[in-house]
Every structure is written in structure tokens, then in C-alpha cells.
Structure 1
Amino acid sequence: MGLTREEIDREIDKLVDYSRKSGKIEVGLYQEYDVKRGLRDNTGKGVLTGLTEISDVTGIAINEKGERVPADGRLFYQGYNVSDLVKGMQNRRFGFEEITYLLLFGSLPTSKELDSFIEILGAYRELPEKFTRDVIMKAPSRNMMNSLQKCILTLYSYDKDADNISIQNILRQSLSMIAKMPLLAVYSYHTHRHYHMGQNLIIRNPKPELSLAENLLQMLHPDGQYTQLEAKVLDTALILHAEHGGGNNSTFTTHVVSSTGTDSYSAIASSLGSLKGPKHGGANLKVLEMFEDIKENVHNWENEEEIRAYLNKILDKEAFDHAGLIYGMGHAVYTLSDPRCVILKEYAKKLSIEKDVEDEFRLYESVEKIGKECMMQKRRLVKPICANVDFYSGFIYSMLDFPRELFTPIFAIARISGWSAHRIEEMVNGGKIIRPAYKYVGHHRRYTALENRD
């Protein structure tokens, strides 16, 4: 007779214990062999593993003495300062499509080129026949990132030239996935809401005359309505999340997987898996949860001392999730400021006025200011610390009535433009397969026959 479920569970518990003991490596060995854990040196700076022309991220300046000193952060797309790009699009209906063009092709489009590019994206926006019913609505996941991965991988089956890795074909596939991502995300959410939450199923088609941001809002909102400010804020958020250098985890994943020569769908699905991780794409949700906790426990949002006392409790692991972290604060590269956060903060303020939640915005401002001071004092930090892009983005998405399940997918909808640009860059340069080294620190052992093992 076979094992019972209880016996199986006990055996698995034993195996888990074996795995922990077998996989545990002595911490001192990492220093002994000078292992760059997380591909970072002992100062936290990323180890150089590649070259790119797509984007540049800076948070340090060189003073007159030739010393590296903290500076306001700057982000460049194909050489253009992203702050200038956002400013230049303030009076325009949309900008994300133009930024996608810039990332993919290296230059800003003319009006004619942009109009043509938007038409191309519109043509690729439709899903294959019955894809929504046969793929999205079958075995819906509770996590929208897994739904996106399933959909992206299944698109491979609908592509007659899926394994062709010529630049022409990769570009075709990239444009198709960029255009379809909003539909895949929103339809997956509506399906999840219907099957797992018992809500009505509403599938609204995209409109070709609308921008990607506008279509996202009209497909998601139950009444299909949105304000011009809402569309502008979302469009700006998409621009700021579209790309962030080759070293972030999901973009590096794109390079690693693309270097094997695999197909575009597998590469993007791998990047989605990376972004799903809470240490990467899920940080803005953690910020939102932290603020819910702060709002429950800080009774006077105008009292800086009460806020300071509670933030110190969070840092001392006495409050919130007991991790000792103020989420949304700090960045691996930026020191004095994160340019994306600076821009999003401005739009968060405008939107909070329209939504009549200015008191919440002021609380965010206070936590940003006081949290920085608390962290500097508690951690005795030498390097300046700033709020990062995640600090205000979750607040913005909540004001736009996006459900939490779609926070990370929104990031993916934006970042696929950067992933696609990096995949093309990897393939154009025809580099070797990316294969880092791992040092074996175990012990060689003599084989023992099964009947002789204790």
C-alpha cells in the first residue's frame, strides 16, 4: 500500500531539512573567494557585465578635486534626459508611444514617423481570434504576472515564424507584444475578478484612436470613463517605467536569456518572471501597504513628531511587517534624488487635488522627509538616501482606481519597451552566451553503493 497524505508530508519535511543543510554555504567563503554577491562590489555598486547605448543612470558627480560626490539623479533614454522628454510632452495627448520609438530606434521620430508608428502599434493591438476565450479565460491565475507569462508564451503558438531570430522578425514580435500587453493584463484581471471574486465579466475592446494609456483606463474602468489628467498621469508613469539601464534584474534577464538564441516569447516571459519578484517589481505595493499601516497608527497626520516616532518603530522592527524597512526609500544608484520620483511626485500632487485626497499626499510628503532623516540617524548612513520611483507610484495607481493585482503588470506594460530594445541590442551585437562562473566549495566524495548506505 502507498504512503498516506500525512506520511508524504512528513517525508517532504525531512527532504526540506536535507535541502537546507545541503545548500547552506558558509558566509565567510564569499569573502575568501571575493564573490560579488548580487553582482555588486563591496560598496554596493553593480559589477560591469555589458555595454549599452539605450539608457544611462547617474547619481554621482565628479567635483573639482576629481572626487565622486552625491548628486541629483539623472536618467537618459538614448542620450536624452528623461526630465526634458517629459517636459517636452506636457501639452501633448500622449508620449509613451514616442518614447517606445526612441528606445527601439535610437532617435526621436518626426511627426510623420510617429503617426506611422502609432498606426503600426494599433494594427498589432488585436489579439488572435478566440485568444481571449481559449487562453485568457482558461485556468485563470490569481496572480496577473503569471497570467501575462502564460499569455506571452502561448502567443508563440500563434506565430508561424516564432523561432526566427532575425532582427526584422524580432522587431515584428516586439511591436506585437508591446501593443498587446495592456489587453493581456486587463483581460486577465477581469477574468480573475469574474472567476475568483464572483464579479461580472466585462471585456471592452481597445479603441484605435486612443493612446496606450487612454486605452488602459477605458478598458479597465467599469464605465470606460477617465479624465484627461488621469490619462496624462498614467502616460507619464509609463514613460518613467519604460527603461532603466541594462543592470536592473529583469533587463539583465532579457540579455541573459536572449544571449542563448532563444525566441522572443521565451525571453519576455523570463523577464516577466523576474519582474514579478517583490524585490523588483512589487515594491510599490509594499509602499502602499506600509502607508495603510501608518494611516491606522498615526492619528494626527500633521504631527511630525508622531510620524517620526512611528517610523522609528518601523525601523526598529516593532511595527508594520517587522522587517525594519521604510519601503520606497533608497536606491542602488541614486543618492540625492531619483528623477522619476521627482516627476511622479509632481503629478501625484496634481492628481490628489483632482481626487480630493490632498491630506494623503501631504502625509506621503512628510514620510518622505522624516523617513529620510530617521534612516540616516538609525543606520548611521554616510551616503545620502532618497525616495525612489516606487514611493509615489502605488499612490498614483490607487488614485487612478487600478486594483493592486495590476500594479506590477503596469510596470511590465511599460518596461517591455525597454526589454525589447535590449533584446535587439543583444542580438545585433551577436555576443557570446552569458555564462558567469560559480566556485565549487563542496567536498569530493567516493561513491557508495545503495545497499551499503546507512
Structure 2
Amino acid sequence: MKNGLEDVIAAETLLSDVDGEAGRLIIRGISLDELASTATYESVATLLLDGLMERPVTETELRQQLGFMRTQLFAHVRSLDADLLALPPVDALRALIARLADGEDFDAALRLLAAPAVFLPAILRLQAGREPTEPDATLSQSADILRMLTGRRPSAEQTSALDAYLVTISDHGLNASTFASRVIASTRAGLTSSVLAAISALKGPLHGGAPGPVLDMLDAIGSGENARDWLTQALDRGERLMGFGHRIYRVRDPRADALKQALRPLVSAGQVDRKRIALAESVEQAAVAILRERKPDRPLDVNVEFYTALLLDALGFPRESFTGVFAIGRTIGWIAHAREQALEGRLIRPRSVYVGPLPRAA
């Protein structure tokens, strides 16, 4: 038995491969380096869902139908009452998604792809005391998310940056939330149930809850000159450095590089604070050096959370919403894995080893 199912193979998949030793992520036969720089939300969704639905779907068709579905789902925003809005954004998001009908067909998948894109911006605007912005079916998924969030049409650089983020985190092997999605799918409960289980796993701080604290760390450090002293003192107190280290990757997380690259057009266009990026780079360099000094036998490098925080902050998402934004992108992978499990797999039923007391003999 391996606690945490470490290295236990629980599924065969055509969807993604995570090579932690080489620092490589492949999604449907395409390396992340290539995918993050060229793909859109719609193209990666088409790629991952290919062959898993009851009929083929083109990228153009998916974009059109997602736009229509966003307009249809906006009606659910009216059910956001004071009790729901008092919850963290990801919990309010989960509650709204729970209103959607279960199913295993393309229409069910389409609803679940569109839902978080509509619901999260509405939740954030209502929590900030502003009216929600209705969807625009003519826009791409990423452009419309940003327009619904800010109330204005995003720049091309902003849309591309969000596309790069959503593509980068669309799938990542059999992580905790994806495994939860496959377990539920193996019972044939339906895609909504699978996505709800996945969101519930994602919100746990050991899985999807760390990007926001990266910004808290940068705020506390303040300037590059303070980085080494602040980080050293944090480690002396036994604290974890947010945005560094990963359960799988023994080298640098390739998603971190993809997101760092996605930030550059925003910097060039003057749409992100250059001083903030310079501070982050100083902190990254100092942290990697200190961790190598202190833990030479344990590879610890920057992970996806570090540049996720900077990119989403630059796009206007409040830090408490980062888990919900992650869910928008990862829903693609959750649905693809759920369909793969339903089509190819059996009911997931592992065994446990009983270590409790035995009954006494008479």
C-alpha cells in the first residue's frame, strides 16, 4: 500500500502526460510550450473533447455554441442571494453550478463549460456592489469573461493572456480534482456531479488554494532588496514559500514558464505594473537560490501558482477569486476525463486494508 496512492496507476488516458522528472507536460500529443503560445480556450476544449462526445465538434461551432450558452445561463445569476454572496467566490460558484441538470451528452458538457465563465464574473461584481454584466455571444470565451468582469471590452493582449492561462491549466494528469471527477463519472452520475466533486476537491488548500498568497508574499516583501532577508526569515519560522515546489515536478514546472511568457505582451503594452514583475523576478531568483542552499537534496523550483497570481492580478481578478478562475480552465479537463472514464473505464472501487481490532474469540 502507498499512502496517498503515490505512483499507483489508476487509469489509462489519451488526454495528458505529466513527466515530473523532465519537467514536461503533453496535452493530447502537443507539448505545453507549443499549446500555450498558439491555442485558445475553444481550441484546447475542442482538442481535449475530441472523440469523447456523441458527435464531432469543430472549434468554430464550439465558440458559437458557447456564446449562445453563456447568454442562456445568465438567467441563473438572479438566484444569487445574500447568503450565497457571503460565501467565498468558489463556494458561490459551486452552488450555482449545482442548479444545472446532470447529463453525459454534449449539451451537458457545453453548459458546464459556459457556466463558470458566466457565474464567476457575476459573483465578483455583485460582491463588489456592482451589477453583473450580461454575456456577449459574439465574443470568445476569454474575451467575454474579461468583459463581464470589468464591464469593458478587453485588449487583444489581455484576451491572449487569459487564453494562455486557461489553456495552460486545462489538464494535468490524474490530480486530486480530476481523480474525483473520474470516480464520480465511473458511477455514471453525470457530468454536473463530476464537476461539482472536482470543484470540491480543488478548493482544498493542498490542491488549488495557493496562488492568492503569492501576492500576499510579494506585498510583504515590498522590494527586491528585501527579498533574501524576508525569505530567509520566513523559512527560519518554518513557513512555506508560496509558489515554490510541486508534488510531481522534480524540476521547474513548465507551466510557470508558459505563464511568465504570457505576461510579456501585457508588460510591453503597459497593461501591467513593470515594478511588480521586477519584484517577482527578484523574489523568484532569491527563493530558488535559498532553497537550493537549504535543501540541496530536495528539488524545489517555481511552480504554476507563482506566475498565475501575477497574471490574474494583472487581468483584474481579485486574489480571492483565483481558485474559481482555475476552475474555468480545468473544467475542460474534468469533463474530458469524466467522459473518458464513462466510455472506457469501470466503476472505481479500490480496496482498503483493515488495521483495527479483531473480534475476540468466544
TM-score relative to the length of structure 1: 0.73
Deviation at residue 332 of structure 1 after TM alignment: 2.4
Deviation at residue 106 of structure 1 after TM alignment: 5.7
Deviation at residue 355 of structure 1 after TM alignment: 3.4
Matched, 1:418 2:324: no
Q: Point out where structure 2 has 5 or more consecutive residues left out of the alignment.
A: none
Q: Residue 80 of structure 2 corresponds to which residue in structure 1?
A: 136
C-alpha distance in structure 2 between counterparts of 1:143 and 1:390, whole Å: 19
Structure 2 residue identity aligned to 1:137: D
C-alpha distance in structure 1 between counterparts of 2:264 and 2:323, whole Å: 22
Q: Residue 149 of structure 1 corresponds to which residue in structure 2?
A: 94
Q: Determine which of 8, 13, 38 is the counterpart of 2:4.
A: 38
Identity among equivalent positions (%) equals 31
Deviation at residue 218 of structure 1 after TM alignment: 0.7
Matched, 1:262 2:186: no
Q: Determine which of 28, 31, 56 is the counterpart of 2:17.
A: 56
- C-alpha change, 1:316 and 1:124, in structure 2 (3 Å) is same
- C-alpha change, 1:129 and 1:358, in structure 2 (3 Å) is closer
Matched, 1:280 2:207: yes
Q: Determine which of 171, 185, 199 is the counterpart of 1:243.
A: 171
> Deviations for 1:263-289, whole angstroms, at most 9, x for unmatched residues?
221111111101111111111112111
* Conserved 8 A contact 2:73-2:118: no
Size of the alignment, in residue pairs? 354
Cα RMSD between the aligned structures? 2.1
Deviation at residue 308 of structure 1 after TM alignment: 1.8
Task: Spell out the pairing of 1:434-445 with structure 2 (5 A cutoff).
Answer: 434-444=348-358
Task: Spell out the pairing of 1:163-178 with structure 2 (5 A cutoff).
Answer: 165=104, 169=105, 171-178=106-113
Matched, 1:105 2:37: no
Task: Spell out the pairing of 1:7-46 with structure 2 (5 A cutoff).
Answer: 35-40=1-6, 46=7
> Deviations for 1:404-452, whole angstroms, at most 9, x for unmatched residues?
23211110000000001001100111x3321222222222468xxxxxx
> Deviations for 1:99-147, whole angstroms, at most 9, x for unmatched residues?
100000069xxxx9322221122222233584222x2236324211111
C-alpha distance in structure 1 between counterparts of 2:317 and 2:246, whole Å: 25
C-alpha distance in structure 2 between counterparts of 1:378 and 1:324, whole Å: 13
Deviation at residue 56 of structure 1 after TM alignment: 1.0
Q: Which has the larger radius of gyration?
A: 1
Q: Residue 235 of structure 2 corresponds to which residue in structure 1?
A: 315
Q: Determine which of 232, 243, 246 is the counterpart of 1:328.
A: 243
* Conserved 8 A contact 1:314-1:326: yes
> Deviations for 1:38-61, whole angstroms, at most 9, x for unmatched residues?
211xxxxx321111110111132x
Q: Residue 78 of structure 1 corresponds to which residue in structure 2?
A: 28
Q: Residue 92 of structure 1 corresponds to which residue in structure 2?
A: none
Q: Point out where structure 1 has 5 or more consecutive residues left out of the alignment.
A: 1-34, 41-45, 61-70, 90-94, 157-161, 194-198, 318-322, 447-454
**Structure with more contact order per residue of length (Cα contacts < 8 Å, sep ≥ 6):** 2
C-alpha distance in structure 2 between counterparts of 1:435 and 1:148, whole Å: 29
* Conserved 8 A contact 2:35-2:167: no
* Conserved 8 A contact 1:238-1:411: yes
C-alpha distance in structure 2 between counterparts of 1:180 and 1:237, whole Å: 18
C-alpha distance in structure 1 between counterparts of 2:141 and 2:125, whole Å: 18
Deviation at residue 385 of structure 1 after TM alignment: 2.7
* Conserved 8 A contact 1:143-1:405: yes
Matched, 1:291 2:218: yes
Q: Determine which of 276, 298, 309 is the counterpart of 1:360.
A: 276
C-alpha distance in structure 2 between counterparts of 1:106 and 1:328, whole Å: 35
Q: Residue 186 of structure 1 corresponds to which residue in structure 2?
A: 121
Q: Helix, strand or coil for the counterpart of 2:187?
A: coil
C-alpha distance in structure 2 between counterparts of 1:128 and 1:84, whole Å: 33
Matched, 1:347 2:259: no
Q: Residue 7 of structure 1 corresponds to which residue in structure 2?
A: none
- C-alpha change, 1:293 and 1:426, in structure 2 (3 Å) is same
Deviation above 4 Å: which 4+ runs of structure 1? none
TM-score relative to the length of structure 2: 0.91
C-alpha distance in structure 2 between counterparts of 1:341 and 1:191, whole Å: 31
C-alpha distance in structure 2 between counterparts of 1:364 and 1:191, whole Å: 31
Q: Helix, strand or coil for the counterpart of 1:127?
A: helix
- C-alpha change, 1:365 and 1:106, in structure 2 (3 Å) is farther
Deviation at residue 154 of structure 1 after TM alignment: 1.0
